Structure 1
């Protein structure tokens, strides 16, 4: 009888332990907070947090920009003042630049070190690109060695259908 009662006790213990939830050790996972708009809403109008922007050039600066009106309309390939900006790069007449290191940025501006390549050469420049209030003008200001002395102002090129 002793063996039978020991087996019954052991079976009871197994059943009780199978019915209880396991205890998990360790801290609770942390939640990632979502940015909110100034009015408390979530999402579409919120200014992106700098850490979410990464090294992308702000979308408000994307597009085609010319130093003079002819830069936007030339079909001869001689638009030396035309630049094209997307999230990854800035294309110039004979060179291109990518973000190397961001100093400051928001939705209408970026100040960063840009790595340039063109005509077999490589160089860097510290540049601030700032969009005007109305969004029609983009100002380029440089600092550091070999910087432009005066800021340059680019005008947004119209796209078909505008």
Structure 2
């Protein structure tokens, strides 16, 4: 019995170790590109337009269709107490949030109702940069925001245009 107990303990420990071992990821032969570092998932390409065929040719501003006040919840649009934490105000060159501002940087893709660009954020004594996709849908009533990069918000955010 005294020889059997250590043998059983060793066998159980080996079995547990084998079950919990993560499979090794295949080794990549290529170095990561800048795009792989910036995006957790690839944003969908902007549909071609007459002027720029989906590229940011000559674009230096956020498209007019995207500009305005957007709320994550209805109260963000109607609050008079300054507590609209989900309010996003989009102008021609910036995104204004509750406690931060994001200045438009390089426009990578743009269309009539969609933009993908780099934004330089400042707020609460900090600075950071994210790539952002803003995509207006539902005849201008809804906007989907997706952030990409090290400090990105996980998952898309759905805003409703304020009346």
> TM bucket by the smaller chain?
0.5 to 0.7
Question: Structure 2 length as normaliser, TM-score?
Answer: 0.65
Structure 1: runs of 5 or more not aligned: 1-45
Equivalent residues of 1:47, 1:107 under 8 A apart:
no
Cα separation, 2, equivalents of 1:122 and 1:66? 23
Instruction: Render the CA deviation track for 1:52-96: whole Å, top value 9, x for unaligned.
Output: 322x11110011000000000000000000011110111100111
Please say which structure displays the higher CA radius of gyration: 1
Say which structure, 1 or 2, has more relative contact order (CA 8 Å, 6+ apart).
2
* CA–CA separation in structure 1 for the residues paired with 2:50 and 2:78: 33
75 and 100 in structure 1: CA distance in 2 versus 1, 3 angstrom threshold: same
Q: Counterparts of 1:134 and 1:89 in 2: how far apart (Å)?
A: 22
Q: Which residue of 1 aligns with 2:117?
A: 112
The residue matched to 1:102 in structure 2 has which SS?
A: strand
User: TM-score w.r.t. structure 1 length?
Assistant: 0.65
Q: Which runs of 5+ in 2 are unaligned?
A: 1-48
* Alpha-carbon distance in 1 for matches of 2:141, 2:107: 24
Question: Structure 2 CA distance, aligned partners of 1:89 and 1:126?
Answer: 13
Query: 2:132 maps to which residue?
Result: 127
SS at match of 2:84: coil
Indicate conservation of the 8 Å contact 1:61/1:85, yes or no: yes
Distance 1:84 1:143, change over 3 A: same
Q: Which residue number corresponds to residue 57 of structure 2?
A: 51
Please report how far the alpha carbon of residue 136 of structure 1 lies from its aligned counterpart in structure 2 after TM superposition: 0.3
Hey, what does 2:67 align to over in structure 1? Answer: 62
Q: Tell me how far 1:146 sits from its aligned partner.
A: 2.4
Equivalent of 1:87 in 88, 92, 109? 92
- For the residue of structure 2 that corresponds to 1:93, the secondary structure is coil
Pair 1:138 & 2:143 matched: yes
Rounded Cα–Cα distance in structure 2 between residues aligned with 1:47 and 1:72 = 34
